[in-house]
Amino acid sequence: MYHTLSPNAAYALATDNNNNLWIGTGGAGAYCYDGKSFKSYLTEIGQKQIDSLYHNWIPFIRKDSKGNMWFASMTHGGVSQFDGKEFTQFLIKDGLSEDQVRAIFCDKTGKLWFGFNGNRNSGLTVYDGSSFKTYSVADGLCNKRIRAIFEDKNGNLWLGADLVNLCLFDGQKFSEYNYNGKTFSHVLFILGDLEDNIWFGGANGIWKYDGETVTEMTTNK
């Protein structure tokens, strides 16, 4: 089912409040490195593959505002929260719109936003600490296949996808982002710097937005 799974591939990196390094792999769950040794976690969750083993693929790890670590699973493992002592898994039955999770983002209010692979009933799901809510294409979501999420200084969510164009959500409505008539597709990462510039890009290059102007930082030939 997943011919590209590789337990030795590192897909995600994050640090916790104790300066441990967490590594999400392409088929062996997550590892925690404390500077001296590695410890394995989340190896047997989700769906077993064709060889009857789990091969949990973790493409994203994010720390929330309380210091909890969140782990996305692309092999139907939903998301798992680690509070420093134990893991809590959240699946469709708990309120997630889908169990193949691609991206996680914690906004300024502490809410967690989840982007998915785009299958079945997935959309943009938000968790406020007690319940989940999903925005679907029927609600105006530009695309349900979300690979990157970022909140700007005005509280707008930027949503990147690998197949369609960059999308913005102002809390009320979704709109496709364009700059002077130009749209941006295949956006796989969105980051902010200390000067409130927004950097985004992927297969088609890298751009910087300073609040007024979008500057292309790469040249495709």
Task: Dump pLDDT digits (tens) for 124-152.
Answer: 999 999 999 999 998 989 988 899 999 99
Count of other CB atoms within 10 angstroms of residue 25: 24
Tell me the fold of 147-221.
Answer: Thrombin, subunit H (2.40.10)
- Counting as low any pLDDT under 50, the low residues of the chain are 1-3
How do the domains of the chain map onto residue ranges?
147-221
Q: What is the pTM of this model?
A: 0.91
Q: What string of H, E and C letters represents the secondary structure of the chain?
A: CCCCCEEEEEEEEEECCCCCEEEEEECCCEEEECCCCEEEECCCCCCCCCCCCCCCECCCEEECCCCCEEEECCCCCCEEEECCCCEEEECHHHCCCCCCEEEEEECCCCCEEEEECCCCCCCEEEECCCCEEEECHHHCCCCCCCCEEEECCCCCEEEECCCCECEEECCCCEEECEECCEECECEEEEEECCCCCEEEEECCEEEEECCCCEEECCCCC
Identify the bridge partners of residue 89 per DSSP, sorted by sequence position: 80
Whether residue 70 contacts residue 80, with contact meaning beta carbons closer than 8 Å, is answered with: yes
Q: Report how far residue 114's alpha carbon sits from residue 98's, in angstroms, rounded to the nearest whole number.
A: 10
Per-residue pLDDT, 162: 81
